[in-house]
A and B are shown apart, each in its own frame.
Chain A
Amino acid sequence: MTARPRTPAHILGAAAAAAVLTLALSACSSAGTGAAGSRGEPGVTATPSAQVTSTPAANAKIIKVKFTGSKVSPDGVPVQVTQGQPIVLQISSPKSGQLHVHSSPQEHINFPSGDSEITLDFKQPGVIDIEDHALNQLIVQLEVR
């Protein structure tokens, strides 16, 4: 089959087809949904320190996370841990919030205002970032060996 040369009508037709398709596609593209929060990953909640009864295990790695205003300390330090070693996050914050744990799969940790604590452990080697998404700040980078 030999194609006929392009005529203005053909070009118009192609443009019209493309325009219809484009409109159909972009019509519903504007809805910026995206609720704040977990977006589908599993989550855990830190326990208020007053309700914590057990003391951390002897081999536990204790990381103190302190929020003050728009800052958090530490703000991006590497921490080396071994597989299965308990990691105790002791969180102190004037308001409640959420940490993001970039493990596989990803997780988030909800924490209340005041002091709270949560124990994590990772069974798989890798580099795992723990971040605060509201501040957009890396807190610690765990190197699990």
Chain B
Amino acid sequence: MLHPTARVAELIGLHGLGGAKDLPVPAPFAIAGGTAALLVSFVILILAWRAPRYDAPPLAEAPSPTDHDEDADPLPGWAMDPRPGRSEDAASDGAWNSGGLRLPGLIANTLDSLWYRCVVRALGMAFTVFMVYVMYKGPDLIVNPTFGVFYVILWVGIVPASLLFGRFFYAISPVRTLFSLVSWVLRINPSKGVFDYPERLGYWPAALGLFAYVWQELVNPRGVYLGWDPPHPGVRGWLVAYFVIMFFGSAVFGDTWLARADPFEVYSSLLAKLSPWARRSDGDLVLRTPLANLATLVPRPGLVAVVAVLFGSTAFDSYKDTVRWNSVVTKLGINLEVTNTTALVLACLTIGVTFVIATKLTGVAETGPEAVPRRLLPQLLAHSMVPIIVGYMTAHYLSYFVEQGQATVVQLSDPMADGANLFGTANWSIDYWLSLHPTFLASSKVVAVVLGHIVGATAAHDRALRLLPKKHQITGQLALLVIMVVYTGTGLYLLFGS
């Protein structure tokens, strides 16, 4: 150490975790191509996709479709989770969440079996216990795998895991497992809290939790430390707070709290709606096309806030690393943390507000059986943001996930940084193939963003056909189309490196 006098607080990382970033994508090509692809696909949708194909949630004044939605996963929960029964009113043809190809009995029974759920939960718990040990006993160095597990494996890995396996985090969630265990020991029903969860809160607690996460990752100067430096929590402090809030919340509101407030579970379950796995409203496990599955996302208050935080924070993360943002920060000369927090809030607000305005700018049927309250339009169309988020997460994190993910697997074998090789991966070398093929990487990013927007536009178009009266079906989508073109253009511009 050459400057032992330097205070810890001064050694603030400008980055979260990670080393080199990707080279920028050639912009004019990407922006022109991307926005054109979106416009062309919109025209094709207007001409060829004239009748709605997918579900729309039943419109009670406050949307409160069946609770079965919570079980729509192939990796179901703990033994005490009530398997949704066959209710009389569900599953009539054409009803909400009733489509899909039934899984063969053997597979469905295995996925629903007690032993399978327990094995998956035990694996999740075993890994958690190992990580808690590493987090408390390991050195507070950048090579401690806690950081890689928290920022790469969990936060980025949740995307492919949920797209492939459905509600991944729900299935392994350590808080859910612990809460189920405690409930089982005390012989109480985990789904019945002291109070009912107030449905009008919807996903707002999760939106706050997700914001707390992205703040920790992108702004907090202690983001890559374990220990705290008051008032800034390190990763350990963040996780303890997360655990306490989730556990006590479940004790008060039952495990509905975890489905609405746990940022990781809500994020994972949102992404799972783009997976082929679903549980029908009659309780059967089915396979569906991702778009059909996405249409069964239950709109709730705060859903727009959740997607706005996910999308806005990714945009901010891209912009934060540019030379331009650096010079803005230097010119402003205000505290970096204040500047970045403000910018992060503004980025999320911008996405949320523009989306709300764009979805409300349409004519609606005010009365009659087709009537749709205008204020519900944003949450009824918010599912169309999920594929867009997946597109940006892919573009933003592809090389980071592949390369930092490998580094984390290497570090996991030597968590105490004492030369151990617990899992035989300590001597692996990291394959930088992606970084060494920048053209392939850049093209993949453009494809991911554009594909995300096209799938999103398709979902929005289908929903608009159900929600909007005939005369507004095309004009009613224009504002949303404009905002999506702006998102695509801005997103690609940010990937270009501005």
Contacts and interface: CB of A to CB of B under 8 A. Distances in A.
B435 A126 contact: yes
B2 interface: yes
B428 to A, nearest CB: 13
Contacts of A60: none
Nearest to A2: B189
B1 A29 contact: no
Interface in B1-16: 1-4, 6-8, 10-15
Given A6-B189, A103-B19, A126-B22, A40 B141 contact: yes
A127 B8 contact: no
Nearest to A107: B19
A118 to B, nearest CB: 14
A18 interface: yes
Given A96-B3, A127-B21, A134-B3, A18 B247 contact: yes
A104 B12 contact: no
B15 A129 contact: yes
B243 A22 contact: yes
A65 interface: no
A145 B442 CA distance: 13
Contacts of B224: 39
Interface in A78-95: 78, 95
Interface string B198-237: 0000000000000000000000000011111110001011
A13 interface: yes
A105 B407 contact: yes
Contacts of B407: 104-105
B127 interface: no
Interface in A92-127: 95-98, 100, 102-106, 110-112, 122, 124-127
B142 interface: yes
Interface string B237-259: 10010011001100100000000
Interface residues of A, number: 64
B70 interface: no
A11 B24 CA distance: 55
A102 B20 contact: yes
B19 A102 contact: yes
A8 B190 CA distance: 15
A76 interface: yes
Contacts of A106: 18-19, 142
A1 B81 CA distance: 11
A136 B414 CA distance: 30
Interface stretch (B263-271, B282-290, B323-331, B342-350): B323-331
B14 to A, nearest CB: 5
B417 A133 contact: no
B194 interface: yes
A129 B139 CA distance: 26
Interface residues of B, number: 72
Where chain A touches its partner, the secondary structure class is loop
Given A4-B187, A6-B194, A11-B194, A126 B21 contact: yes
A15 interface: yes
Contacts of B80: 1, 3
Contact of A105 (B19, B140, B228): B19
A54 interface: no
Contact of A133 (B10, B183, B404): B10
19 contacts: A5-B192, A10-B188, A14-B186, A15-B248, A17-B182, A40-B417, A41-B143, A96-B2, A100-B13, A102-B19, A104-B407, A104-B430, A106-B18, A124-B20, A127-B497, A134-B11, A136-B12, A136-B336, A145-B23
Interface of A: 1, 3-6, 10-11, 13-15, 17-18, 21-22, 25-26, 28-41, 75-78, 95-98, 100, 102-106, 110-112, 122, 124-129, 131, 133-134, 136-138, 141, 143-145
- 9 smallest CB-CB distances across A and B, nearest first, come from A3-B189, A40-B141, A104-B19, A126-B20, A32-B227, A76-B326, A37-B1, A40-B143, A127-B21
Interface of B: 1-4, 6-8, 10-15, 18-24, 80, 132, 136, 139-144, 178, 182-183, 186-190, 192-194, 224-230, 234, 236-237, 240, 243-244, 247-248, 251, 321, 323, 326-327, 330, 336, 403-404, 407, 417, 430, 432, 435-436, 438, 497
Given A128-B21, A133-B14, 14 more contacts: A5-B189, A13-B186, A22-B243, A33-B139, A33-B227, A36-B7, A78-B323, A105-B407, A112-B2, A124-B435, A126-B435, A127-B24, A134-B3, A136-B10
